Amino acid sequence: MSETSTDRVTAAVLIIGDEILSGRTQDTNLRDIARYLGVLGVDVAEARTVPDVLDEIVDALNALRSRYDYVITTGGIGPTHDDITADAVAAAFGVALEEHPEIIAMLEARFGDQLNAARRRMARVPVGGTLVKNPVQGPPGFAIGNVFVLAGVPQIMRGMLEDVGPRLRGGRPVVSRTVRVEGSGEGAIAAPLEAVAKAHPNMSLGSYPFFTPEGYGSNLVLRGRDPAEVEAVVGELIAALAAAGVTGAHEPMV
């Protein structure tokens, strides 16, 4: 079955923060978002990391939201001066920021008379935006248009994703299978793998080498949306490898 434009739903991830680019903080959000969306049939087709610079966030956001069905941002919605994601999203959509009354109420309940100007920054939402629930701690994120703005702290971000998922138009989920080849390098695998990949342009076939004390080889990962095609291509690939003299290709036991 040929894949049509309506079969594929795409998303981009925009990771915001100087701390990611400096290496002080290791990003795990991209991995978690891709895994979560994949189950829903939404492909993460691009990811970018940008610093805490307003114009760069705006430019990246406008480029991504015009190209993909959804954009998920992480980071930059805290109380400090360099948390400027809300400002950038408002600028990208050409709307003003306003304090959301529900967030103000949450902050007042938590901080009381300690609700200072810095903390009130976390209540700012672009006009027309809706809230993204935060079941972990702190104020919620927000959504506007096809953009979802989430926290950068991984635990909080994952909690917010649970409110994002039901709002997305899911595509056909991707089916993934693995063919394991032991004792052969990528040089021997490349030609049959390429031939099978070219014969099935709607699928993704990748080679991922491994090296262990017991030996070496590659895991060949096949991904597609038609389960019957994926099943057939597994057999086709194993046969093509055998014809090229690569023996022992098999699906690993789950």
Model confidence pLDDT, tens digit, residues 103-153: 999 999 988 989 999 999 999 999 999 999 998 888 999 999 999 999 999
Residues 39 and 182: their CA atoms lie apart, in Å, by: 29
User: What is the percent of the chain with per-residue pLDDT over 90, rounded to a whole number?
Assistant: 78
- Whose tokens are 């939201």? That residue is 65
pLDDT given for residue 213 in this prediction? 85
Least confident window among 66-75, 87-96, 223-232: 223-232
pLDDT band at 6; cut points 50, 70, 90: low
pTM over 0.85? The answer is no
| Sequence-distant (≥ 6) Cβ neighbours of residue 216 within 8 angstroms | 182, 183, 185, 209, 210
Residues 29 and 216: their CA atoms lie apart, in Å, by: 30
pLDDT given for residue 3 in this prediction? 44
pLDDT band at 2; cut points 50, 70, 90: very low
In the chain, domain spans: 9-167, 175-243
CATH number of 175-243: 3.30.70.2860
Residues 13 and 147: their CA atoms lie apart, in Å, by: 10
**pLDDT of 248 higher than 90:** no
State the CATH architecture for 9-167: 3-Layer(aba) Sandwich (3.40)
pLDDT band at 39; cut points 50, 70, 90: confident
pLDDT given for residue 175 in this prediction? 86
- Whose tokens are 């978002």? That residue is 33
pLDDT in tens, 150-188: 999 999 999 999 999 999 998 778 888 999 999 998 999
